[in-house]
């Protein structure tokens, strides 16, 4: 009798667990249906993978005298096998500690040719695999140089991470614009194609995760910067899409569920100097951009799944008002704390489904790693490890990428 009772108890607990996962998935996918929007030539609801490290890995291989980078080959081959339409990866590297190693710009408008050839190789091999690229042109954060690096180069006092002077100081802005013009004018040493015309590029992003901390509360200064820098990209890469690379923060609750967001997060995502609505309205911006990191954004645990659905569908609706698709450039939940793998998988599956239902142009989970990249290097890694099937739990989300890719264009 005891064994029978334990069996019933275990079955009941399993059923309860499965029910809880179904609830998470349903909450994450609870998005209104809307017409599909396309990110340029990409099919509706295309899946993009983040693999930020490709230029760095390629540059090190080129510096070793290689004509091929195993990391680049593996990443593109696996992205294609999973059905991803594009890869989002760094188009910048200004880090002082990477000078002579992988840094592209080693001093104001001075470049390391070997490191540039690493980026050449990334572009060439993406084209060979039929995988498009989304390339941010710089970083708000200190990683790989960031806004602080440009402020340092300008000789301004006490530079800090995400320094607001990156967006307002004339010398800094002119330097960044000049850098972009040089990068997009570069002719690839492997295939002879100019960056601004390279067929592997789907889109350029003005900056990775620009934030308006220290700028005006209405987002006017940030919008002025967006317009000025986007005009340069448009001039040198007229056939490519341009996005801001922002996370989706705004300066008011207009267009958002104010009551929900006041209850769901511990601090406001709708105050400060970056206006998603104002930036998306720019005639020089081709698509809207958001990221979603619920833990970093202060989303309460019990709201996590539904908060993603709100974030995606509300931003998609605002973008649609301007006739533009939404690119979910990054989204992730931490691997090693908080939610279990099954819970994260339920939410990821739901968010992919939400993106498809609500007509998002493309969505891009963070962060796809090649097999040699240690799991500890990033809080959000997932894989498609050699010798495994996508659904192997060691890969975390590879099978979900395939599922999401199978929805592409089915509107």
- Catalytic residues, by residue number, are 209, 330
| Residue written as token pair 């960031």 | 146
Single out the residue of 285, 357, 297, 293 nearest to residue 324, CA to CA. 285
Determine whether 249 is exposed, middle or buried from the number of CB atoms within 10 Å of its CB (0-12, 13-18, 19+): buried
* Measured CA distances, 404 to 134, 290, 352 (Å): 19, 18, 6
Do residues 206 and 242 make contact, with C-beta atoms less than 8 angstroms apart?
yes
Distance CA 308, CA 350 (A): 9
E strands present in 23-109: 46-50, 86-88, 105-107
The three-state DSSP-derived secondary structure of 303-362 is HHHHHHHHHHHHHHHHHHHCCCCEEEEEECCCCCCCCCHHHHHHHHHHHHHHHHHCCCCE
């Amino acid at each position: 009798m005891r064994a029978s009772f334990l069996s019933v108890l275990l079955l009941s607990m399993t059923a309860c667990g499965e029910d809880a996962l179904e609830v998470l998935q349903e909450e994450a996918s609870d998005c209104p249906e809307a017409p599909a929007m396309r990110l340029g030539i990409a099919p509706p609801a295309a899946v993009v993978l983040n693999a930020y490290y490709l230029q760095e890995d390629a540059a090190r291989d080129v510096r070793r005298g290689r004509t091929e980078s195993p990391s680049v080959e593996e990443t593109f081959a696996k992205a294609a096998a999973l059905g991803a339409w594009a890869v989002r990866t760094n188009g910048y590297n200004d880090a002082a500690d990477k000078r002579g190693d992988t840094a592209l710009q080693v001093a104001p408008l001075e470049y390391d040719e070997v490191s540039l050839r690493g980026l050449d190789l990334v572009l060439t091999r993406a084209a060979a695999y039929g995988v498009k690229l989304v390339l941010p042109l710089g970083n708000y954060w200190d990683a790989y140089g960031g806004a602080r690096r440009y402020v340092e180069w300008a000789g301004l006092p006490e530079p800090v991470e995400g320094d607001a002077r990156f967006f307002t100081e004339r010398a800094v802005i002119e330097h960044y614009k000049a850098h972009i013009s040089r990068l997009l004018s570069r002719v690839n040493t492997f295939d002879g194609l100019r960056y601004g015309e390279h067929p592997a590029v789907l889109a350029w992003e003005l900056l990775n995760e620009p934030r308006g901390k220290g700028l005006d509360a209405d987002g006017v200064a940030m919008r002025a910067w967006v317009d000025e820098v986007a005009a340069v990209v448009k001039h040198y890469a007229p056939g490519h899409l341009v996005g801001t690379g922002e996370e989706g923060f705004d300066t008011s609750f207009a267009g958002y569920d104010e009551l929900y967001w006041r209850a769901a997060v511990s601090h406001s995502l709708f105050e400060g100097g970056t206006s998603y609505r104002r930036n998306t309205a720019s005639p020089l911006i081709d698509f809207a951009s958001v990221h979603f990191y619920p833990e970093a954004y202060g989303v309460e645990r019990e709201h996590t799944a539904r908060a993603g659905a709100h974030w995606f569908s509300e931003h998609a609706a605002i973008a649609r008002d301007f006739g533009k698709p939404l690119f979910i450039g990054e989204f992730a939940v931490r691997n090693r704390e908080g939610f279990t793998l099954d819970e994260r998988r339920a939410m990821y599956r739901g968010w992919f489904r939400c993106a498809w239902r609500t007509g998002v142009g493309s969505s891009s989970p963070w962060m796809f790693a090649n097999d040699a990249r240690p799991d500890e290097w990033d809080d959000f890694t997932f894989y498609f490890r050699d010798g495994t099937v996508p659904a192997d739990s060691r890969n975390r989300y590879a099978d979900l990428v395939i599922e999401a890719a199978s929805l592409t264009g089915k509107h």
